[in-house]
Amino acid sequence: MTFDSLWTRRRLVSAAAAAAVLAVPAIALAQDYPTKPITMVVPFAAGGPTDTVARLLGEHMGRTLGQQIVVENVAGAGGTTGTERVSKAEPDGYTVLLHHQGITAAPALYNNLRYDTKTALEMVGMINHGPMVVVGKKGLQAASAKELFDWMKQNADKITMAHAGVGSNSHVCGLIIQKVLGQKFTFVAYRGTGPAMNDLVAGQIDVLCDQSTNAVPQIQGGTVKAYAVADKARIDSIKDVPTAPEAGFPDMTMRLWNAIYAPKGTPKEIVAKVNAALRKALADPSIKEKFAAVGTSLFPESEWTPEAHHKTFLAELERQAVLLADK
Write out the residues near ligand ASP by the rule CB under 6 A.
Answer: 44-45, 48-51, 100, 102, 164, 168-170, 192-194, 210-211
For ligand ASP, give the closer residue by CB, 170 or 320: 170
133 vs 274, beta carbon nearer ligand ASP: 133
Q: Which of 203, 197, 255, 195 is nearest to 229 (CA)?
A: 255
Peptide bond into 107 cis (omega under 30): no
Q: Which is nearer to ligand ASP, 125 or 195 (CB)?
A: 195
Minimum CB separation of residue 303 from ligand ASP in Å reads: 22
Least distance CB 200 / ligand ASP (angstroms): 12
Q: Nearest distance from residue 111's CB to ligand ASP, in Å?
A: 20
Q: Residues 125, 305: contact at Cβ < 8 Å?
A: yes
Q: Rounded distance, CA 127 to CA 284, Å?
A: 13
From the CB of 223, what's the least distance to ligand ASP, in Å? 17
Q: Which has the closest alpha carbon to 271: 126, 58, 125? A: 125
What DSSP state is assigned to residue 33?
Answer: -
Q: How far is the CB of 109 from ligand ASP (least distance, A)?
A: 12
Q: Which is nearer to ligand ASP, 45 or 69 (CB)?
A: 45
Task: Give the residue closest to ligand ASP by C-beta.
Answer: 48
Q: Bridge-partner residues for 71, per DSSP?
A: 40
Alpha-carbon span 5 to 10, nearest angstrom: 8
Give the residue with the Cβ less far from ligand ASP, 102 or 130. Answer: 102
Of the two residues 95 and 193, which places its CB atom closer to ligand ASP in the complex? 193
E strand or H helix at 125 = strand 121-136
- Tell me the C-alpha distance between 109 and 299, whole Å: 27
Tell me how far, at minimum, the Cβ of 73 lies from ligand ASP, in Å: 9
Nearer to ligand ASP, 128 or 170 (CB): 170
Give the Cα-Cα-Cα angle 207, 208, 212 (nearest 5 degrees). 140
For residue 136, the minimal CB distance to ligand ASP (Å) is 16
Pairing of strands 225-230, 297-298: unpaired
Interatomic CA distance for residues 10 and 109, integer angstroms: 52
